[in-house]
């Protein structure tokens, strides 16, 4: 993908110790490309990408290189000099570009697999400036399955809008009957590898031809009479399958996955005398075949309730669907307010008035402005409070809450005193620096404050860029329950923090979470949809989510000040 190419270029330059100005510029460009909902590749082709902040003429030219040649030319050159996987080394805990370079040049290690083997065999310590402690951290980090997944998977948040646009375009074609997303995007998985679309059509070939001829398609990797795989300008792969209407339910079920879910479903079916394939379900004894036009009927025939796609991960959903035990999952429309947002009072891009107007337009009843404490020192805190009071008179009964996002310092104290916290309606406390330093103790200490309502982005991961801090979530959840503090499910596309696994652990412990956009601009308020998707993957119901309640109910539910 486009953004990843700029990231990788910056990484490889850093390892080769090139000048830092250009490295920073490439990283900024990558971030801008990720944040821009429309195709930056298309903008570059039209000569308009340089109108975006952080993208100038040189970078625009590089984007055009990707569209035309598949890769930034400078990246191809760097790849010839530095093995690409060495870039992954520098993201491991305790390592930076210098050590990554030394591991490669002094130890001759060029792949993650070789690095892992060396760390496990304790062959790194004493070399390339690495001590035993760092070696242990490397081994532990590489033992996590997602450690090296990195840039090969795209963020759901940047991909979903594009995928939906494609689905809409296909639906509008006269030959199309049904068009649905499938695969990991339909399951709202936080990252996706390729994008799957399932359709039925009166003329399958016509729909496949049309799909391959869309303007943003730069490469048709495979094409047949009923399916095609294409690559878009920005490097995303799309799989389209046009299927017979009478088996649409079977195929949609199959291609939605996950693989684990499908394997478990098939094994369960075999035990009950059925054999499930992509196209049909057959009875083992009689050989009789059953095709289903509707996915609901596939599940019903096998004795299950219909399972929402977000739950299809082979994590207990089949058993629950058999005995009426599926949770009634939270929905986007259940959210009544957003409890973590920013404005131009700190690092937000839109003004307080504009953010509030956007929140009203979404149908919210309340909305917390949580600008960073370090930008609200002294008079500014009171000045913002006055602005909120005045605006509240205009927008009532809509309620703007005077929130604040405070820093949890390395020693666990907060960077705002109690007297000031007492003037705010809602307090989010987050770690913003030294993520690796005793995160559990710091977060637990912050929760002791009677004013801290919620812990923001608890693990501080940045998907693809920064691994979760080594925080003991079980202890944090326990402390949250004990103190009456909530944990946030931060919905920023590269945060989604709590993750699905962590949010499910919270639910199982009886802890409620807050789904927040952490929006820094109007468009970012939409991120809550990703947060709700993640919450659904975590089996969360409306009751498990704090901000499905009225503000009055939230005030009753939270800790006493």
Contacting positions for Ca ion (CB under 5 A) = 183-184, 194, 196, 239
> Which of 254, 372 has the CB closer to ligand DGT?
254
d(CA 42, CA 77): 25
* Cβ neighbours for 378, distance < 8 A, ≥ 6 positions apart: none
**Which one of the spans 118-126, 193-201, 223-231, 245-253 is the region binding ligand DGT (CB under 6 A)?**
193-201
> Which of 210, 238 has the CB closer to ligand DGT?
238
Minimum CB separation of residue 370 from Zn ion in Å reads: 6
From the list 11, 518, 529, 544, which residue makes contact with Zn ion (rule: CB under 5 A)? Answer: 518
**Taking CB under 5 A as the rule, does residue 497 contact Zn ion?**
no
Q: What are phi and psi of 400, to 5 degrees?
A: -90, 125
**Which one of the spans 211-219, 234-242, 375-383, 510-518 is the region binding Zn ion (CB under 5 A)?**
510-518
What tokens were used for 432?
Answer: 């913003």
Instruction: Find the DSSP H helices in 433-499.
Output: 439-447, 473-483
Minimum CB separation of residue 161 from Ca ion in Å reads: 17
From the list 183, 327, 348, 519, which residue makes contact with ligand DGT (rule: CB under 6 A)? Answer: 183
**Taking CB under 6 A as the rule, does residue 184 contact ligand DGT?**
yes
From the list 157, 204, 249, 257, which residue makes contact with ligand DGT (rule: CB under 6 A)? Answer: 257
**Taking CB under 6 A as the rule, does residue 150 contact ligand DGT?**
no
**Taking CB under 6 A as the rule, does residue 464 contact ligand DGT?**
no
Please choose, from the candidates 150, 206, 146, 144, the residue with its C-alpha nearest in 3D space to the C-alpha of residue 173.
Answer: 206
Burial of 172 (0-12, 13-18, 19+ CB in 10 A): exposed
From the list 262, 407, 485, 490, which residue makes contact with ligand DGT (rule: CB under 6 A)? Answer: 262
Q: Which residue has the tokens 């982005």?
A: 457
Find out whether 189 and 201 touch, Cβ atoms under 8 Å. Answer: no
What tokens were used for 541?
Answer: 């119901």
> Which of 14, 196 has the CB closer to Ca ion?
196
CA distances from 167 to 195, 236, 425, 520, 533 (A): 11, 14, 42, 29, 19
**Which one of the spans 163-171, 312-320, 403-411, 526-534 is the region binding Zn ion (CB under 5 A)?**
403-411
Minimum CB separation of residue 276 from ligand DGT in Å reads: 8
d(CA 249, CA 271): 22
518 binds, among Ca ion, Zn ion, ligand DGT, none (CB under 5 to 8 A by kind): Zn ion
CA distances from 128 to 96, 98, 116, 124 (A): 12, 9, 15, 8
> Which of 229, 492 has the CB closer to Zn ion?
492
**Residues of the shown chain interacting with ligand DGT in the complex, contacts defined by CB under 6 A:** 183-184, 192-194, 196, 254-255, 257-259, 262-263
């Amino acid at each position: 993908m486009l953004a990843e190419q700029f990231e990788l270029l910056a990484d490889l330059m850093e390892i080769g110790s090139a000048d830092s100005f250009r490295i920073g510029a490439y990283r900024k460009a990558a971030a801008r490309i990720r944040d821009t909902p429309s195709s930056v590749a298309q903008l570059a082709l039209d000569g308009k990408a340089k109108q975006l902040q952080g993208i100038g003429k040189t970078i625009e030219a590089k984007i055009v290189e990707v569209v035309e040649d598949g890769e930034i030319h400078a990246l191809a050159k760097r790849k010839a000099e530095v093995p690409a996987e060495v870039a992954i080394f520098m993201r491991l805990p305790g390592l930076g570009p210098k050590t990554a370079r030394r591991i490669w040049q002094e130890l001759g290690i060029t792949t993650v697999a070789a690095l892992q083997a060396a760390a496990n065999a304790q062959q790194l310590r004493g070399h390339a400036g690495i001590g035993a402690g760092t070696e242990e951290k490397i081994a532990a980090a590489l033992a996590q399955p997602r450690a090296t997944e990195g840039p090969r998977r795209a963020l759901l948040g940047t991909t979903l809008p594009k995928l939906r646009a494609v689905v809409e375009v296909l639906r509008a074609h006269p030959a199309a009957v049904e068009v649905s997303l499938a695969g990991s995007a339909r399951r709202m998985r936080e990252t996706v590898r390729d994008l799957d679309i399932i359709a039925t059509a009166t003329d399958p070939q016509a729909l496949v031809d049309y799909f391959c001829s869309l303007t943003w398609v730069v490469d048709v990797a495979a094409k047949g009479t009923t399916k095609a795989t294409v690559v878009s300008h920005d490097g995303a792969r799309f799989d389209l399958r046009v299927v017979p209407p009478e088996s649409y339910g079977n195929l949609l079920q199959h291609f939605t996955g996950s693989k684990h879910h499908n394997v478990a479903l098939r094994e369960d079916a075999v035990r009950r005398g059925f054999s499930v394939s992509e196209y049909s379900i057959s009875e083992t004894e009689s050989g009789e075949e059953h095709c289903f036009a509707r996915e609901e009927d596939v599940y019903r025939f096998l004795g299950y309730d219909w399972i929402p796609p977000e739950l299809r991960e082979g994590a207990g959903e089949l058993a629950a669907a058999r005995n009426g035990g599926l949770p009634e999952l939270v929905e986007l429309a259940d959210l009544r307010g957003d409890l973590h947002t920013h404005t131009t009072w700190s690092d937000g891009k839109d003004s307080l008035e504009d953010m509030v107007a956007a929140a009203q337009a979404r149908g919210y009843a309340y909305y917390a402005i949580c600008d960073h404490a370090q930008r609200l020192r002294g008079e500014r805190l009171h000045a913002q409070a006055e602005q909120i009071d005045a605006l509240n008179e205009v927008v009532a009964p809509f309620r703007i809450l005077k929130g604040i996002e405070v820093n949890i310092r390395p020693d666990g104290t907060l960077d705002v005193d109690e007297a000031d916290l007492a003037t705010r309606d809602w307090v989010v406390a987050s770690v913003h620096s030294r993520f690796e330093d005793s995160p559990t103790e710091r977060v637990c200490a912050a929760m002791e404050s009677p004013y801290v309502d919620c812990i923001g982005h608890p693990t501080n991961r940045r998907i693809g860029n920064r691994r979760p801090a080594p925080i003991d979530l079980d202890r944090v959840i326990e402390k949250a329950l004990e103190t009456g503090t909530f944990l946030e499910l931060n919905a920023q596309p590269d945060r989604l923090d709590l993750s699905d696994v962590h949010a499910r652990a919270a639910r199982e412990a009886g802890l409620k979470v807050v789904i927040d956009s952490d929006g820094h601009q109007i468009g970012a308020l939409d991120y809550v949809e990703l947060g709700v998707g993640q919450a659904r993957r975590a089996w969360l119901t409306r009751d498990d989510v704090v901000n499905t309640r009225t503000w009055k109910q939230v005030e009753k539910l939270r800790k006493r000040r």
